Amino acid sequence: MYVLDIPRYSISLTDPSSAAIITDIVANINPLPILGAVALGGSPGISPDIIPAVASNTLLTVLPEFNENNDVTQALQARVDFVEALFKDPNSVPFSIKAQYLGQTVVQPPAVSAQVSMRPQDPSKTFAAGDAGQLQLMVLFGDADKLVVQSGVVSTFQPHFKDLVITTISGGHALFDDNPAGVTNALKSFVTKITTKKREIRSRITGNSTLKAQNHNDRQFSAS
């Protein structure tokens, strides 16, 4: 997870493997320390009800091999298959990049993998934050993502986030590597949108306070 440092604002940017941290933040930190969040190629929350809707058959096939410790050969092959599925065109991705991803999956123990991908979460506070307009949310997808069902993510979260920003760019699940320029442009657009909205709200509040103070002074002047 990354936090974009903008004066007076905090925006959580989560990578595909940790997008559900958005729900962890909302559920466990009060008051909410972020203005907005970006789920980059993932779901903003996971639960027994959400996972079947947002995980592709490919992901559901490899996850058990990540999370269990029964067959070394199958576990390693699942990791290779997972890495290949990260990219829109895996044949064009340098081996050095694939090796970095593969290395990270190998050093992660099954118990940790299970916590990352299948830990129990209660998304009710995330839904409530969306319903109340306390959190702005963007879901950023690759048009060739083989691991996440985009329609499942949207149908789960859009009912609670009326201003949900849904952006699809060229790329697979590993958007930072497939399309770094597209990711950057999408993030700039989202940050501009929500910070502008926040400034407008603050300006209206300040303007109303100024008007009330002016009316109060006018009444005092008239009374005198």
- State pLDDT tens for residues 74-105: 999 999 999 999 999 999 999 999 999 999 99
Looking at residues 62-81, what average pLDDT do you find? 91
Residue 214 inside a domain? The answer is: no
Token pair recorded at residue 40 = 């980059």
Give the separation between CA 66 and CA 221, rounded to whole angstroms: 75
Dihedral of the alpha carbons of 82, 108, 178, 5, in degrees to the nearest 10: 150
Give the separation between CA 41 and CA 26, rounded to whole angstroms: 19
Q: Give the E-state strand segments of 46-201 in sequence order.
A: 136-142, 165-169
Residue 168 inside a domain? The answer is: yes
State the pairing for strand pair 9-14/2-6.
Answer: antiparallel
223's CB contacts (< 8 A; 6+ apart) are none
Give the separation between CA 54 and CA 65, rounded to whole angstroms: 19
Tell the residue number behind the tokens 């509040």, with chain if given.
205
Residue 108 inside a domain? The answer is: no
Residues in the chain: 224
Q: Please count the helices (runs of H) and the strands (runs of E) in the chain.
A: 10, 5
Residue 15 inside a domain? The answer is: yes
Tens of pLDDT, residue by residue over 101-145, are 999 999 989 999 888 888 889 999 999 999 999 999 999 999 999
How many domains are there within the chain?
A: 1
Give the separation between CA 124 and CA 69, rounded to whole angstroms: 32
43 neighbors 68 (Cβ within 8 angstroms)? no
Residue 170 pLDDT grade (very low, low, confident, very high; cuts 50, 70, 90): very high
Q: Which domain holds residue 15?
A: 2-51+119-199
Tens of pLDDT, residue by residue over 190-217, are 999 888 866 665 666 665 555 455 554 5
Give the separation between CA 36 and CA 153, rounded to whole angstroms: 17
Residue 96 inside a domain? The answer is: no
145 neighbors 57 (Cβ within 8 angstroms)? no
Residue 94 inside a domain? The answer is: no
Residue 72 inside a domain? The answer is: no
CATH number at residue 173: 3.40.50.1820
Q: Is the peptide bond before 31 cis (omega within 30 degrees of 0)?
A: yes
DSSP 5: E
Residue 76 inside a domain? The answer is: no
